[in-house]
Amino acid sequence: MKRKKVPTAAQILVERFRAFEQKLYADQLHDDRSMMKSGDRRFWHFRPSHHVASGLLTQEDVMCLSPSGKRLLSVGASPAFLEKLLPEIGVPAENIVLADKDPIRIENAGPLKVVTFDMNDPWPEMGTFDRIIFPESLCIAIGDRLKERGTAAPSSDAHPNDPLEAELLTSIMREALRRLRPGGIIRANGPMSHPKVVQKMEEALSRDGIRCDVQYKRYLMDIRIS
């Protein structure tokens, strides 16, 4: 007889998010189980459950962020389908800060706080956070800046933009790490920079005296101060 598999805590959390997606956004869900109907060719919008399934947010994060005074910063959050669902799961709205470079796309944030800035530029003062997440936004921000400043010309170097990409990634993570509370975690999902670029970021941060523990996968990065 086949034994029934017991779902993991991660699978249970994904199912909880799926249930709330149906409740809150029933008419906005795309047939693709990862996507929302809104969004366009430039910016796709993702289902909250996609973010949980990819490891951006865990049950441990939800427990960490639930008590009063705990703080989550989501950078590149617009239109905040994930973040607007979090109060249903137990993270109070007042613990959540949304950031995006585009103020218009984020205006339906309800009771959640909103800050507008470009993550590639110096970040404004907004206190410190227990978790900082980049939901499918880090690669977009870096890619856009590379298009503006990188070299498009063919080069003998196969990856001519790697140094600039490492500089951009380091600058974003420096800003995030500066705002991370002790024991805090930074996570980004979506396509990540090449491991060599991530390695260069670690070296640059180390030269600044910041030693971090970086867990890298192709579609997920997890950074903590070691």
What are the residues binding ligand SAM (CB under 6 A)? Answer: 43-46, 76-78, 81, 100-102, 105, 118-120, 135-137, 140-141, 144
Minimum gap (Å) between residue 9 Cβ and ligand SAM? 22
Tokens of 197: 């670029």
CB 149, CB 84: distance < 8 Å = no
103, 115 in Cβ contact below 8 A?
no
Report, in Å, the least distance between residue 30 CB and ligand SAM.
11
Contact 47, 33 (CB under 8 A): yes
Tell me the pairing of strands 44-46 and 72-75. unpaired
Nearer to ligand SAM, 44 or 219 (CB): 44
- Beta carbon nearer to ligand SAM, 88 or 118: 118
Tokens in use for 26?
Answer: 């029933």
Query: Smallest distance, Å, CB 6 to ligand SAM?
Result: 30
> Closest separation between CB of residue 118 and ligand SAM, Å?
4
CA-CA distance, 25 to 184, in Å (whole number)?
A: 30
User: What are φ and ψ of residue 129, in 5° steps?
Assistant: -140, 150
* Distance in Å, CB of 211 to ligand SAM, minimum: 26
State the minimum distance, in angstroms, from the CB of residue 155 to ligand SAM. 25
Q: Which is nearer to ligand SAM, 58 or 153 (CB)?
A: 58
Picking from 135, 137, 136, 167, the residue whose alpha carbon sits closest to that of residue 149 is: 167
Shortest distance (Å) from residue 143 CB to ligand SAM: 9
Shorter beta-carbon distance to ligand SAM: residue 176 or 185? 176
Nearer to ligand SAM, 65 or 140 (CB): 140
For residue 81, what is the DSSP state? Answer: H
Tell me how far the alpha carbon of residue 42 is from its chain's centroid.
17
Cα distance between residue 18 and residue 35, in whole Å: 12
**Cβ-based nearer residue to ligand SAM, 74 or 95:** 74
Q: Which residue's Cβ lies closest to ligand SAM?
A: 76
d(C-alpha 62, C-alpha 72), whole Å = 10
Name which of 148 and 183 has its Cβ closer to ligand SAM.
148
Burial class, 212, CB count within 10 angstroms (exposed 0-12 / middle 13-18 / buried 19+): middle
